[in-house]
Amino acid sequence: MNEFIITKVNHLDTHKLNLLVEESMSEGFRHLKRLVTDYEDGTNKFDLDGEALFLAIKNGDIVGICGLNQAPHSENIEIGRVRRMYVSPSVRRFGIWRMLMDSVIAEARNYYQILVLKTDNPVADLFYRSIGFSVKDDSENDTHLLQLA
């Protein structure tokens, strides 16, 4: 039986992300490496008002991650941004993306009216649209938008 736990973390031991970072790099993604670098140098610790970091855990191992930040490209404090979503290939198709996003959206509703994100991945595009995000054509910083109010 596959049991996954989604947990909000206040402190991240970045060394526990090594396998996930390696997997993401082998798929051509650099965003988890940036997450680790930014977290370690203090650039982004997901610790400002309205920010959070969620992990998907299976048998003690981190198998997915997704963050919520204040929107960096907007002066509007009512906009949050989904950041650094990744799920290990070994556990895809088990609903982990959805569980992580449900957690992020629930957290975002406490702080924001709108949630934005940027992706150039066609699979991610389909997923985000399937859960209610609309495509945002009028911005170079964001590709998708979800009205939370």
Spell out the domains of the chain, with CATH numbers in brackets: 5-147 (3.40.630.30)
Q: Which of 88, 46, 35, 105 is nearest to 70 (CA)?
A: 46
CB-CB contact of 99 with 56 (8 Å) = yes
Average pLDDT over residues 48-74: 93
Q: How confident is the model at residue 49 (pLDDT cuts 50, 70, 90)?
A: very high
pLDDT in tens, 121-144: 999 999 999 999 999 888 888 999
Distance (Å, whole) CA 126 – CA 117: 13
The distance from CA 73 to its chain's CA centroid, rounded to whole angstroms, is 17
Q: Is the pTM of this model over 0.85?
A: yes
pLDDT at 92 over 80: yes
> Is 38 or 71 the better-scoring residue by pLDDT?
38
Share of the chain above pLDDT 70, in %: 99
1: pLDDT strictly greater than 60: no
